[in-house]
Amino acid sequence: MAISPDELVQVLIEERVKLMAYIRSIVPDYHIAEDVFQEISILAVRKADEINDQSHLMAWLRLSARHRSINASKKNNRRGLPLDEELATKLDDAWSAYDEKHLSEEGEALERCIGQLTANAKRLVHLRYSEGMTGEQLAKQLNRPTTSTYVMLSRVHATLRKCIQDRLGISPRGRRTNA
C-alpha cells in the first residue's frame, strides 16, 4: 500500500532538518542545497503512489538527494569537489542510522538554546550556518572588523555550549550530571 499524501508531507516537514544536513554534507552551498531539497520534495509527492511507507520514503529521499546533490555540485562547480561514489556510499551508511530517529535530544536542546539568543546573535548564527558565510563574509555583511566578528561568533558558541550542557545535564567535562 502506498504512503498517503498527508503522511508524505508530514515526513518531509519532520525530517527536513536531517535531509538538509545530508544534502549540505554533499553540497556546501545553502541555496543549491535548498533547491535540491525542493526538487526531491516535489518528486516525492509526484511518486507517492510508488512509495510504501515512511522508511521506504526516507531511503528514497536520501538516494534521490544523493544523486541530485552530486549532479548539482558538478553542474555548479561550487566549493570543493563532488564526492566520489565510494565516499557517497559511506556517507549514506552513516546517515541511514538516523532515518528512524526524530530530532535528537541534543538537536532539540540546540533549537531551544538558539531561540534564547539575542536577535543579533541569531542573525550571526543564521548567516554563518544557514547561509554558509565565512568569517570574512560575515565581517563585511555586518560592517565589522574580522577579528571582532570571530570574537562574537566565539561568544555565541560558548553561550550555546553552556545552554546545551545545562539543558542536557552535562558537566563542562562532558559527563551527564543527572544520570
What does the domain layout of the chain look like in residue ranges?
A: 5-96, 105-168
Tens digits of per-residue pLDDT, 67-121?
898 888 878 765 445 556 666 666 666 666 555 444 467 777 888 898 999 999 9
Rounded to an integer, the average pLDDT of 7-19 is 84
CATH topology of domain 5-96: Rna Polymerase Sigma Factor; Chain: A (1.10.1740)
- For residue 80, what are the contacts with CB-CB under 8 A and spacing of at least 6? 28, 73
Taking the C-alpha atoms of residue 81 and residue 107, their distance in angstroms, rounded to an integer, is 29
Rounded to an integer, the average pLDDT of 149-171 is 87
Q: Which three cell numbers stand for residue 12?
A: 518531509
Has residue 31 got a pLDDT over 90? no
pTM score, whole prediction: 0.52
Over pLDDT 70: what percentage of the chain?
79
Query: Residue 40's pLDDT band (boundaries 50, 70, 90)?
Result: very high
Task: Count how many Cα atoms sit within 13 Å of the Cα of residue 113 in the half-sphere of its side chain.
Answer: 20
Q: Which CATH class is domain 105-168?
A: mainly alpha
Query: Would you state the pLDDT for residue 27?
Result: 83
- For residue 24, what are the contacts with CB-CB under 8 A and spacing of at least 6? 30, 33
Has residue 135 got a pLDDT over 70? yes
**Residue given cell 553540497 in the structure block:** 27
Query: Would you state the pLDDT for residue 177?
Result: 61
Has residue 168 got a pLDDT over 70? yes
Has residue 124 got a pLDDT over 70? yes
Amino acid at 36: V
CA angle 104, 125, 71 (to 5 degrees): 75
